[in-house]
Amino acid sequence: MKLLLENWREYLKEEVQRVPLDKIVPTEELGYLKYDDPEEFEEVIANIENAFEVGREDPLDVVYDKTMDKYEIVDGHHRYHVAQDWGMTDYPVVVVDTK
């Protein structure tokens, strides 16, 4: 069960694709980077940076907007933020819906 939880995307066979960061947009109404506790925010960011250092990039869940040709983040705002700070040019995503 632990292995399933750690690699759930692989088991669900979701298609992961890399998308340029400039085509990914945060979803403000979902609370993008809003935290009441600054220490909790810093801990989350540090955990993501540690994952990046060992080569683990957990995909963002996004909705693809065909009319704008943009990918709206539904889950993964912090990973997106860190990817930008690290100067990444693209990032893995899973398209969960299209509009």
> Is a pLDDT exceeding 80 seen at residue 20?
yes
Task: Please compute the mean of the pLDDT values over residues 5-9 and round it to a whole number.
Answer: 52
Q: What is the CATH number of the domain that holds 35?
A: 3.90.1530.10
Is residue 50, in this structure, part of any structural domain at all?
yes
Residue 81 and residue 45 in contact, taking contact as beta carbons nearer than 8 Å: yes
Q: How many domains does the chain have?
A: 1
- Evaluate whether 26 touches 77 at the Cβ level (below 8 Å): yes
Joined tokens for residue 95: 């398209």
Structure confidence by residue, pLDDT tens digits, 51-97: 999 999 999 999 999 999 999 999 898 899 999 999 999 999 999 88
**Domain span holding position 94:** 15-98
Question: Which residue's entry shows tokens 């960061």?
Answer: 21
Residue 90 near residue 20, CB atoms below 8 Å: yes
